[in-house]
A = this chain, B = another copy of it.
């Protein structure tokens, strides 16, 4: 059974650690974090440490720190034949190339500590410096997820960019929608069924085909009405996205 150590207990590290703790086909043997506080949850269950020189021997070391700390942690790891991976969407695999066996183990999901996710559905993007290392990562990935993707660093960088659009930017549009409702004494929950249906649609058809609304129809009058009383900071976003939609469908606004 693969022995795993996780380094860095932020949102990704916490979720990955609790998931591996609960799987029968891999064994989490230790968690590391710079400060002790985030390790408390684990201290009755497995070994914890905030000292890189006290790491145990494992098959896979998973670096789950912020992007900028990855290289430093990697450089401070002991010399080993074990596999060293990071979990970053936008960090090249080569950042770990001082090690013999290294790779990337990138779960494409947004994590928070207080919301449990279903790991079986989370795409795990793996990349490795050799076929042998790749198959080790595949074994670990398969123990927690049904969706494994072989993705190289350039593709991962692109996926991460796409994720910013469909997660970070989408959430910001939800925020703007909530603001508009609240500023007009309307419970923002009124938007939830529409938000859910929008997602359901792209599961069964392409987003290109699912597009509706004034910009898609080239309905300049409605767009002008909306723009006339939008807050300045929302107006630019409304304009730019409407223009982009209109252009996509060959409409003029």
A204 at interface (Cβ–Cβ under 8 A)? yes
Given the known inter-chain contacts A151-B186, A175-B208, A180-B165, please indicate yes or no for A237 contacting B247, CB distance below 8 A: no
Interface residues of A in 105-155 (CB under 8 A from B): 108-110, 112, 115, 117, 121-123, 125, 147, 149, 151, 154-155
Kindly state the separation between the CA atoms of A140 and B193 in the bound complex, as whole angstroms. 20
Closest to A204 in B: B115
Among A155, A175, A181, A211, chain B packs the most CB atoms within 10 A around the CB of A175
Whether B247 lies near A233 (C-beta < 8 A) is yes
Interface residues of A in 164-194 (CB under 8 A from B): 164-178, 180-181, 183-187, 190-194
A1 at interface (Cβ–Cβ under 8 A)? no
Whether B195 lies near A199 (C-beta < 8 A) is yes
Residues of chain B contacted by A236 (CB below 8 angstroms)? 240
Interface of A is mostly: helix
A69 at interface (Cβ–Cβ under 8 A)? no
Whether A194 lies near B237 (C-beta < 8 A) is no
Residues of chain B contacted by A41 (CB below 8 angstroms)? none
Kindly state the separation between the CA atoms of A70 and B185 in the bound complex, as whole angstroms. 27
Residues of A within 8 A of B (CB): 67-68, 90, 108-110, 112, 115, 117, 121-123, 125, 147, 149, 151, 154-155, 157-178, 180-181, 183-187, 190-204, 206-208, 210-216, 219, 221-222, 225-226, 230, 233-234, 236-238, 240-241, 244-245, 247-248
